[in-house]
Chain A
Amino acid sequence: MSARATPTAAPTPLAYFAAQTIKAFNTNKTSWIGLLVFLVVVALALAAPWLAPYDPNDQNIMEKLRPPSAEHWLGTDSFGRDTLSRILYGARISLVIGVASTLLAMLIGSAIGMFAGWHGGRIDTVTMQAMDVLLAFPSLILGLILVAMLGPSMHNIIIAIALTSIPPFARIARAPTIAIKEREFVMAGRALGFSDTRIVAGHILPNILPEILVMGSLWLANAIRTEASLAFVGLGVKPPTATWGGMIREGFENILDSYTLALVPSISILVVIFALNLLGDGLRDAIDPKLKGET
């Protein structure tokens, strides 16, 4: 390390992280667009109780299957419920299930990956083989079966989606752990008598965190898509709770009477997933130019 000529204060880890994040966002301007759109959706979902013009579950049979109008901006469904209100409330379900299952998968997956990479040898081989097996099985089908067997409650859906998303996080956490394990600062930690947990959590984790977070944004998109797929085949959070997948299902059943009913939630879901993909894809380019465009 060079001698410090000017006595500038070293940046705190948090400030350094923030600066790096902004730099990563600036490499690919589309990341900003993705983030902005996603934050708007989050804000709309949070503000649903104040923004929604009607109660999302209020039925009004006299007003059923109405096209968009001044009273109902996005029309009404076959029970006369206001589509706009249901979209706003449905966003909450998508986001809660998406974020919770992704965080869970991220935690368990990166723990498994770091564990395998840190120990190496047979433990590594067996663990990663198990991950490959889990990865090979079509995740949507695994999710469907898990939810059908556990019962379609919010937390079972979260568990099922999380389970199917563990392997990619294990993979992405493992490779850098192996690389970093041999570096001087890890050896220094060992020489100082630090425990394995302390080295992994305190010194390896911060190094691989950016990659895990970027993967997280891409898998959040995937989790939201899976939740909608489950709801579409009738394995979502139970009706009458508004979910986007469930709304598409109801809209699809009435597609000959009103096409807006299926189209509005379809577009909502597409916008959120596209925004998250723009965000994650742009950031991934910034973190590792070699991974450009790989999926």
Chain B
Amino acid sequence: MTAFVVRRLAFACVTLFAVLTLVFVLVRIVPGDPAQLILGDQASREAIDALRQRLGLNLPIWEQYLVFLAGALRGDWGVSLVSGQPVIGEVLKVLPWTIQLTIVSLILGIAIGVPLGVYAAIHRNRVIDYAVRVSSLLGLSFPPFVAAIILLLAFAIALPWFPVISARSGSLAAWYQSITLPAVSLGLITAAYVTRVTRSAMLEVLSEDYVRTARAKGVPWNAVVWRHALRNALIPIITVVGLYLGILIGNSVLTEIVFSRPGLGKLLIGALNQRDYPMLQGMMVIYTLIVVLVNLLTDLAYGVADPRVKLK
């Protein structure tokens, strides 16, 4: 197990390094001089030079790269051009909102998707299977903000059960009130993906010899499905859930906007509109860290779900 974890950690470090390099390049493909862009056309030569100095744009490119890498890893992500606060502080302040939303949506997606997928698989080609397939395909066709707007219209405006602005916290009731609609809108789309992969993975496993053997020796059907088959179908499910987490984090940006919910999404859109480059760079670093962490967890989950993975 130790060797397995070490190998995955090493791979995570390589990915982190690669994506950080990508971020560095991305921020520098902006046409024109960022200092000029930030200050506008009216800025004096001196002001632009001073800002270039402050942003480190006067250094040679490889030195900028080293400064960026060192800063990114130390948590020194510069200062927001808009608020004048350190980027890392602003990011950490809203991070819990996004993480809560993502985790609750994911749990919702798995709790709905896995049983539904298993159920569809064991009733293959029956009416219920077709219904599940078509509705899951419809579910994953939803742009996340469309799902959010429809829920908002239905359950916050037509039926005033939930607040229109989901930014309350404090008591448990307030938390529940503010997270339900955003999490349901993301969770249903997640459930659509999970249902489909669960169904197809189960179909494959259910035709295996060991399933027939288990049936033949008299293991109850329920135990065969939930213990033998589902356990073996876990690997593709984990793969999709892991990959989908990246999409989910992206989608949460739109959901946060619709529900006026604090989080990385609102921060990101604000930074994009204000052209707050240090903030954007910092946000890409935090997204990278999240993605690398998710990949690492996915890899470790493989090892838990299927002990053979660790030996490879």
Residues of A near any B CB (own CB < 8 A): 30, 129-130, 132-141, 144-146, 148-151, 221, 225, 228-229, 232-235, 248, 252, 255-256, 259, 262-263, 266, 269-270, 273-274, 277-278, 281, 290-295
Contacts and interface: CB of A to CB of B under 8 A. Distances in A.
B167 interface: no
A168 to B, nearest CB: 10
B53 interface: no
30 contacts: A129-B14, A138-B246, A138-B247, A138-B250, A139-B247, A141-B284, A141-B287, A144-B272, A145-B280, A149-B29, A150-B30, A150-B31, A151-B31, A228-B143, A229-B145, A232-B254, A233-B254, A234-B269, A234-B273, A235-B272, A248-B145, A259-B153, A263-B153, A270-B138, A273-B142, A277-B141, A278-B137, A294-B236, A294-B240, A295-B196
A36 B292 CA distance: 42
Given A133-B19, A136-B291, A140-B251, A148 B141 contact: no
A149 B38 CA distance: 12
Contact of B253 (A140, A248, A294): A140
Given A141-B250, A145-B284, A146-B26, A270 B203 contact: no
Contacts of A139: 246-247, 250
Interface of B: 14-15, 18-19, 22, 26-27, 29-31, 133-134, 137-138, 140-146, 149-150, 152-153, 157, 193, 196-197, 199-200, 203-204, 236, 240, 243, 246-247, 249-251, 253-254, 257-258, 268-269, 272-273, 275, 280, 284, 287-288, 291-292, 295
Given A145-B272, A150-B31, A273 B253 contact: no
Given A144-B272, A263-B153, A281-B137, A294 B145 contact: no
For the complex, would chain A's binding face be called helix, strand, loop or mixed by DSSP majority? helix
Contact of B196 (A229, A256, A294): A294
A198 B8 CA distance: 40
A291 B201 CA distance: 9
Given A140-B251, A252-B258, A273 B143 contact: yes
A132 to B, nearest CB: 8
Contacts of A255: 149, 152-153, 157
A171 to B, nearest CB: 12
A277 B269 CA distance: 29
Given A136-B291, A292-B203, A293-B199, A232 B145 contact: yes
B140 to A, nearest CB: 7
